[in-house]
Structure 1
Amino acid sequence: MKRLALALALLRAPALLLAPALLLAQVLPAAAQNEPPLLAEKVATGALPETAGRLPFDPLVVDLKNQDRELGDYGGTLNMVMAGAKDVRQMVVYGYARLVGYDPATMELRPDLAKEVIVEDNRSFTFVLREGHRWSDGTPFTTEDFRYFWEDVANNPEISPTGPPIELMVDGEPPTVKILSPTRVRYSWSQPNPDFLPQLAGARPLYLYRPSHHLKMYHDHYAEHGPLKAKVEEAQARNWAALHNREDNPYKFDNPDLPTLQPWVARTSPPANRYVFERNPYYHKIDAEGRQLPYIDTVVFQIASPGLIPAKTGAGESDLQARYLNFEDYTFLRQGAERGAYETYLWKSAKGSHLALFPNLNIEDPLWREVMRDARFRRALSLAVNRHELNEVIYFGLALEGNNTVLPSSRLYEPEYRRKWAEFDLKRANALLDEMGLTERDDRGVRLLPDGRPMEIIVETAGESTEETDLLELIHDTWLAAGIKLYTRPSERTVFRNRIFAGQTMMAISFGIENGIPSAESSPSEFAPTAQTQYMWPRWGQYYQTKGKAGTAPDIPEAVELMELYDTWRRSSTTEARRAVWHEMLEIWSDQVFSIGLIAGVLQPVVVSLKLHNVPVQAIYNWDPGAHFGMHRPDTFFFGAERPRTPDRVLTAAARSRQ
């Protein structure tokens, strides 16, 4: 048996230390005398136990001093500005309470909600929970919550018609789940499942557990028929399973009645113009002096139009803001910082491409589908993009030009992956299009399809910023020189996605590969058709996600090969074998130009109140891995006296470096 390095590393790492008994004996009495003011009245009246009675027997002790952070003070309201009710899920992203999570210093996985994880050959994973750990309503968090999800949710055909989540399937095989004790549960497969732990640490995590004590009220196996029927009718749900699924929304975070393990608990039901989240009295972490985290009592999301969020942030209405801010807002925000009590950091992004173009290989139009699936066409479009012009005009020359692939800071990086078919070469682009037989043109110089239609490509955007349309205006001119006419169509994000999924979109512009800094142990799933949200092949991704019940199977050789390589990576038992698979996939990806990367390394403005402490000045801002602010542990941020401003040379250091 081999204990996972993350469990052993945890004991050695300064970032997150399991507290020895002596330390707990010292810190918990102090904690009992230092209740968060928000909870003090409830403790005094007996509505809540004291801190020691709310914590697990072995809470996770965060050693902030070894992270160059300050011990914080309780209290305060963290104000942020969001665009709609769907953004409340960002509290799950930012809260980042996971069974295991990433350490931002090393990008290694470490136990969090779990006390320990024991791994055998990437086939068997035993989770050891913290004794005495409780849900936000005070109910014990035990392996019954894991059993309930596996037996009564994932394998109940009325609740989960497609069966367990695809992330739990290995070559079509579900895990064997064994409840070993109230604090130990084991998941095992006959083949390796190296994706398993990263999925648990994701920005949108794979949940293995549910608050069973709450959800049993909505489950026909546990609830009395009469009261359950009344709940269904009152909620106007189709049946009990539909009501159960409506209540069971841990990621959406829009149900104040659903117990959680996150640092803050939802207090507002949608719709609303203002969403409030209060500290979880049973959160499992403490600092080195025994004070229960989070430090901040309350988080408030004010809802505003996306276009107004930069202005509201510059006016000082947000204490911590990155969402809905773009690099184009940086100058305005820096000017506002001179008048306001905030400063603007520049965090590095980790996407393979800040923005990329996605030809839809699943487009409904059969002739355009044939054209899009011809690698010569995709290569020609890539060669006809003047990335240097994009960089200079839009990003002041600070971005990294090239394909949508891994970044130079990744140990898997090869210069050819970023350069191939990505240098501006109109002569070569025109030659490839001529080679395809697309030689006829109209009086505008626009090439014609074999059926006589002009080659007019509509690139659709989610319409959330002018950055995309500014880039497309520049690309329009160089594509026209290759005989391709580009039009832009903005739409609301939900409409934007649904059109892509339905095969109505010819091409989309959106963010590139999420994890641009992978190692051989990171999943290469983004480079194979594994998700509907991969805009170049949504129906192939849907086919994989639904186990063949929806979508269509990949039917071009290179996409099939990428899927086979991904499966090989999942079955590989050594780092060397996984690294070899990665390189094969990256070579195919760059050669086939399934997505047309534009620029990478664009910096993310992060506005931080001068009264908000422990927010890193330089950091990575990424969805997965990273969970945006989540990996940097907002439960340790706190309000205090106004900080001295960070020297300008430190604030702008990220702009002078490359990924």
Structure 2
Amino acid sequence: MTRFPIISKFLARRVLAGMVVGASVITTSLMPVSGHAEVPYFEDAVAKGTLPPMLERLPEHPNVIDFGAEDKTIGKYGGEFVTIMGRSKDIRMAVVYGYARLVGYDPDLNLQPDILEALDVNEEGNVFTLHIRKGHKWSDGAPFTAEDFRYYWEDIVNNDELYPVGPPRFLFVGDEPATFEILDEYTVRYSWSQSNPFFLAELAATLPPFIYRPAHYLKQFHEKYRDRDEIDAIVAERSLRSWAVLHTDMDRPDRLSNINRPSLDPWLVTTEEPSDRFVFVRNPYYHRVDPEGNQLPYIDRMIFNISNSKLVPAKVGAGEVDLQSRVLSLKDYTFLKQSEAKQNYQVRLWDVGAGAHAALYPNLTCSDPVWRGVLRDVRFRRALSMAINRTEINRVLYFGLAQPTNNTVLRKSPLFKPEYRESFTNFDTDAANALLDDMGLAERDSDGIRLLPDGRPMEIIVETTGENPEHDDMLELIGDSWRQVGVKMFVKGLQREVLRNRAYSGETIMSIFNGVDNGLATPNTVPSEFVPAQQDSLQWPKWGQYYQTDGEAGEAPDMPAAKELMNQYRKWQTSNEKGRKEAWQDILDINSENMFSIGLIGNVPQPVVVDKDMRNVPEKGIHSWEPGAFFGIYRPDTFWWDR
């Protein structure tokens, strides 16, 4: 097994595909840490003996961040930073921003071990050996070991009451589940008979699956490890249905609803819901250090203030935050720049990684049989697209700084073709009218609105989460232009969860939401956003549900183009890198021709407001959910105050 001190971008992509030949991904340094001062935040606790000294809290080989590669400076300890979230559920962004992962992306989108000390992948890409850092501890000081991986595999995802449908799909290759082995206290292995190109991509995700859990803590809520009468008493006291519900409530690693649950993140939640102010404090056992051996994070506390989304720009302009991108949009840029001189902040514009800033999603699996037939006709989807004046949207809402686009990969992606971005995006009401007439939808009512085949007026209800005011502004402009082709729009605002559930059940006809997360896809990126493999893909939720439940729910794809997408998805899963690229291009070609989603506008710069005294925040970055975790890949644990 060859060991590489640094993983190149090329190698990282091959690792992501599970095809590294006899190679191991390891950290850039195994530098021992010694002779450094205690973190001031913990000095009193160490002096009182309630907390071990720093050197005893760190792993034997902590993750040493390469400041040279990331253009960072050694920082100072102390302080807090404040940011605003639009709703209390968004406290999960602490997990996103912290971006502590078994393996994760660096700012150049190379894949690197993080929580893991090393990762070995065999030549066939079907055997993954994970090496845990010796001495790594949970936030309560308990050892982090192979037992935490075993507990997840045996006692959670393979427990029928906790996971009735079994382990997540990325832990399968076809119908074959992973073979899980414990090699020693700090080494575990996952293997399959064939390569698994999903495994590492999931581990590095913005919201990862957490294939390890704090076993020492959660066992007290598991029927296998605690007296049943004691557990039943807790269940009754909390008015819950079963021990499984109790266990799930006590776990939830991405929701942070249990402030007592141990974590490996840089900051730990200390505030219980409900609240409009959530305080996170530094993790005394965090595994990263700077090049001089100083334990990260530099900043002691992270504050999430909860506020109505409409008030966030005003609060930012009033100087109430230290770091903010969430909820802000380009339309806030002028106001924020005007306030910049009065406040101690800078407004930076970052590139985005999403395939489109917003897109319309016709629900091809809606329950209304008439609308289903209309939406599935590609002429209808193309007509709606050509009846959108994207140039007007760009000028009115984005000062002409954005770009009309389909919902597809970006220019920076090696898979990009100009036609992916441009097809059927020209504003041409004559061509759109001709397509609708050709469909046999020429008959109109007295108001000029076309009639559906069953005689109903063609009134499309577009559902929105109401979280992004820009979506409402876009829909107003689109509604005006659609009237020119005889289509009337109504807008219905819903909570996100309600919208998704309506789409899943087939009640939604069309919705507006963000574009694909990963517009920077490579041949080794999982193409799940472009094929009917996910229930939360709003253009085909029932097909995605069918795939995710192995046919137990939802509907099997019954359109030729959708079937071919799944054929190419299977080809991608079983191919080498050349075959994966071919499959990706076919998938993108099919999407481009069929307009399964209707992209509106893209390349909209993201305002990022940064206090002038905060260091190590990039001047330019990519603001992307996947991959990138917004600030996550830039490591907020390395940000510090120069005051």
Could you say which TM-score interval applies, normalised by the shorter chain? over 0.9
Amino acid at match of 2:350: W
Instruction: Note the 1:123-142 alignment, pairs <5 A.
Output: 123-142=126-145
Instruction: Note the 1:48-447 alignment, pairs <5 A.
Output: 48-105=51-108, 107-120=109-122, 121-447=124-450
Q: Find the aligned partners of 1:424 and 1:526 in 2 and give their Cα distance.
A: 26
Aligned-pair CA distance for 1:543: 1.9
1:19 aligns with 2:29: yes
Answer whether contact 2:173 2:194 (CA < 8 A) is retained: yes
Residue 29 of structure 1 corresponds to which residue in structure 2?
Answer: 35
Please, what TM-score do these two structures have when normalized by structure 1? 0.93
**1:183-226 C-alpha deviation (Å, 9 max, x unpaired):** 11111111221121111111110211110000100111111223
Amino acid at match of 2:187: R
Amino acid at match of 1:622: S
**Superposition RMSD in Å:** 1.8
Amino acid at match of 1:19: S
Q: Find the aligned partners of 1:71 and 1:416 in 2 and give their Cα distance.
A: 46
Answer whether contact 2:28 2:66 (CA < 8 A) is retained: no
1:474 aligns with 2:474: no
Aligned-pair CA distance for 1:466: 2.4
Q: Find the aligned partners of 1:177 and 1:614 in 2 and give their Cα distance.
A: 40
Residue 511 of structure 2 corresponds to which residue in structure 1?
Answer: 508
Instruction: Note the 1:562-581 alignment, pairs <5 A.
Output: 562-572=565-575, 574-581=576-583
**1:288-309 C-alpha deviation (Å, 9 max, x unpaired):** 1111000011111111111111
Q: Find the aligned partners of 1:78 and 1:11 in 2 and give their Cα distance.
A: 36
Instruction: Note the 1:636-651 alignment, pairs <5 A.
Output: 636-641=638-643
SS at match of 2:34: helix
Answer whether contact 1:402 1:423 (CA < 8 A) is retained: no
Amino acid at match of 2:562: A
Amino acid at match of 2:629: A
Pair 357,263 (structure 1): closer, same or farther in 2 beyond 3 Å: same
Aligned-pair CA distance for 1:6: 7.1
Aligned-pair CA distance for 1:532: 1.6
Aligned-pair CA distance for 1:617: 1.0
Answer whether contact 2:387 2:432 (CA < 8 A) is retained: yes
Q: Find the aligned partners of 2:45 and 2:470 in 1 and give their Cα distance.
A: 49
Pair 186,16 (structure 1): closer, same or farther in 2 beyond 3 Å: closer
Amino acid at match of 1:618: K
SS at match of 2:461: strand
SS at match of 1:624: coil
Pair 10,501 (structure 1): closer, same or farther in 2 beyond 3 Å: closer
Residue 608 of structure 2 corresponds to which residue in structure 1?
Answer: 606
Pair 604,16 (structure 1): closer, same or farther in 2 beyond 3 Å: farther
Pair 479,9 (structure 1): closer, same or farther in 2 beyond 3 Å: closer
Match of 1:627 among 629, 634, 638: 629
**1:517-559 C-alpha deviation (Å, 9 max, x unpaired):** 1111111110011212111111111222223222222221111
Q: How many residues align?
A: 630
Q: Find the aligned partners of 1:370 and 1:11 in 2 and give their Cα distance.
A: 46
Aligned-pair CA distance for 1:82: 1.4
Pair 167,87 (structure 1): closer, same or farther in 2 beyond 3 Å: same
**1:295-344 C-alpha deviation (Å, 9 max, x unpaired):** 01111111111111111111111111111111111111111111001111
Q: Give structure 1 stretches of 5+ with no counterpart.
A: 642-659
Q: Find the aligned partners of 1:166 and 1:313 in 2 and give their Cα distance.
A: 41
Q: Find the aligned partners of 1:428 and 1:546 in 2 and give their Cα distance.
A: 41
Q: Find the aligned partners of 2:53 and 2:298 in 1 and give their Cα distance.
A: 16
**1:23-64 C-alpha deviation (Å, 9 max, x unpaired):** 42xx4212xxx2222111111111111111000000011132
Answer whether contact 1:349 1:622 (CA < 8 A) is retained: yes
Instruction: Note the 1:539-558 alignment, pairs <5 A.
Output: 539-558=542-561
Q: Find the aligned partners of 2:406 and 2:265 in 1 and give their Cα distance.
A: 37
Amino acid at match of 1:609: D
SS at match of 1:28: coil
Aligned-pair CA distance for 1:173: 1.5
SS at match of 1:447: coil
SS at match of 2:473: helix
Please, what TM-score do these two structures have when normalized by structure 2? 0.95
Pair 195,353 (structure 1): closer, same or farther in 2 beyond 3 Å: same
Q: Find the aligned partners of 1:472 and 1:618 in 2 and give their Cα distance.
A: 31
Aligned-pair CA distance for 1:227: 2.0
Answer whether contact 1:262 1:283 (CA < 8 A) is retained: yes
Match of 2:491 among 488, 505, 508: 488
Percentage of pairs with the same residue = 50
Q: Find the aligned partners of 1:4 and 1:565 in 2 and give their Cα distance.
A: 33
Pair 489,525 (structure 1): closer, same or farther in 2 beyond 3 Å: same
Moved more, 126-135 or 170-179: 170-179
Aligned-pair CA distance for 1:17: 5.1
Aligned-pair CA distance for 1:477: 2.2
Instruction: Note the 1:574-589 alignment, pairs <5 A.
Output: 574-589=576-591
Residue 592 of structure 2 corresponds to which residue in structure 1?
Answer: 590
Q: Find the aligned partners of 1:190 and 1:634 in 2 and give their Cα distance.
A: 39
Aligned-pair CA distance for 1:83: 2.2
Answer whether contact 2:26 2:117 (CA < 8 A) is retained: no
1:461 aligns with 2:471: no
Residue 656 of structure 1 corresponds to which residue in structure 2?
Answer: none
**1:63-92 C-alpha deviation (Å, 9 max, x unpaired):** 324422111111111111112221111100
Pair 624,389 (structure 1): closer, same or farther in 2 beyond 3 Å: same
Q: Find the aligned partners of 1:5 and 1:103 in 2 and give their Cα distance.
A: 15
Residue 618 of structure 1 corresponds to which residue in structure 2?
Answer: 620
